[in-house]
Amino acid sequence: PFYVAGPGSPTDFIEKVKVMSGGRLQIQHFAAGELIPALEGFDAVSKGTIEMNAANSYFWSGKTFAAQYFTAVPFGLNFQGMTAWLYHGGGLKLWEEVYAPFNLVPIPAGSTGIQMTGWFRKPIEKVEDFKGLKMRIPGLAGKVYAALGVDVKLLPAGEIFPALERGVIDVAEFVGPYQDRRLGLHKAAKYYYTTGWHETSTITEFIVNRKAWDSLPNDLKEIVRAAAAQAHVVSHTWAEATNADALDDLVKNQGVIAAPLPASVVAKLREVTNQVLADATKDPLVKKVHDSFMTFKAMHDKWAGISEAVYQNQIRG
């Protein structure tokens, strides 16, 4: 996941579960690569090799493209909207349906909030500038960039900085200012494109082996759900509290050039995103999830347009 220690992190969640259960349920944490290779958690939990994994569902879009929708959809919902869809708009029920054939129980367990577009060695002035770039980026955004001529790479967090530093990749997308600074990405690239069109609110998941989950009594299941819901909110607010200061430091003290992508580039990214989604929804299950997401988004956008948008444009000042 995007971090494993700190407010709302997996280790924080584990401690909360221990305290809330009076020690009846204790979860042992292992970092990526200790028990299983990074990015193999889905299969390991499905087979019962481990009981639980923390990650993001879009890493499993090769198993089922529908998994993409439960992490982030380009040009999609913000944190409030995404959380509302999951808990009150049928999103979590669909997530459970998508994972059921794999013997998995999904639990929302965190959010980075809106991410950044990424770190580039050279500026992007037009869509054609993407062609030939080697980029670390997961999920649906990778398919969008690939359609524009990008050589997409899927790397775990620990491999991103050395790959960018050595020129194995030209572009790196990770999370946001605070986490990106922790990885040292600003030491390998200076052009930092802002507000991530591709991940407008990135959701962290816990996946639990179905047999292991069913073995828990109901009170412990509720404790796990409650601790995960707390992590979901706390991780998001922690990101809000740390990103602004980190971005200020990167720009003022680290020589980073932060800027939005040109409007023409964003327009093309939106166009290609719609094409990729249209192709994906030929699958009935993907279409079911897609239709639910987009129907909820249309409703939520109306409310956001007279609440958050007005706040941002008029009230905040």
Q: Is the per-residue pLDDT at 317 higher than 80?
A: no
Q: Nearest 10 degrees: CA dihedral of 54, 55, 59, 62?
A: 20
To the nearest whole percent, how much of the chain has pLDDT over 90? 89
Greater model confidence, 107 or 309 = 107
N-to-C CA span, the chain:
35
Q: Is the per-residue pLDDT at 2 higher than 50?
A: no
Residue 16 forms part of a structural domain: yes
278 with 65: CB under 8 angstroms? no
Tell me the per-residue pLDDT of 142-183, one tens digit each, with 9 for 90 and over: 999 999 999 999 999 989 999 999 999 999 999 999 999 999
Per-residue pLDDT band at 3 (split at 50, 70, 90)? low
Calpha distance 118→122 (Å, rounded): 12
Calpha distance 85→298 (Å, rounded): 11
> Residue 193 burial (CB < 10 Å; 0-12/13-18/19+)?
buried
According to DSSP, the β-strands at 191-193 and 257-259 are parallel
287 with 94: CB under 8 angstroms? no
According to DSSP, the β-strands at 203-209 and 52-55 are antiparallel
Residue listed under structure tokens 């054609």: 128
Question: Domain span at residue 46?
Answer: 10-111+199-242
Question: Residues 75-86, buried b or exposed e (16+ Cβ, 10 A)?
Answer: ebbbbebbbbbb
Residue 106 forms part of a structural domain: yes
78 with 200: CB under 8 angstroms? yes
Kindly state the tokens that stand for 303. 């409310």
Residue 187 forms part of a structural domain: no
pLDDT at 315: 82
Q: Give the mean pLDDT of 183-189.
A: 97
pLDDT at 1: 44
Residue 307 forms part of a structural domain: no
Kindly state the tokens that stand for 155. 């790397």
Residue listed under structure tokens 């994972």: 99
pLDDT at 6: 83
Residue 1 forms part of a structural domain: no
Calpha distance 155→118 (Å, rounded): 14
Q: Nearest 10 degrees: CA dihedral of 80, 82, 88, 94?
A: -170
16 with 22: CB under 8 angstroms? no
Considering its fold, how many domains does the chain have in total?
1
Residues in the chain: 317
Q: Is the per-residue pLDDT at 257 higher than 80?
A: yes
- Quote the pTM value: 0.93
| Residue type present at position 266 | V
Residue 269 forms part of a structural domain: no
pLDDT at 141: 95
Calpha distance 176→117 (Å, rounded): 9
Residue 107 forms part of a structural domain: yes
Residue 75 forms part of a structural domain: yes
**CA proximity to 180, closest of 265, 254, 230:** 254
Kindly state the tokens that stand for 135. 């980029």
Tell me the per-residue pLDDT of 268-293, one tens digit each, with 9 for 90 and over: 999 999 999 999 999 999 999 999 99
* Domain at 41, CATH number: 3.40.190.170
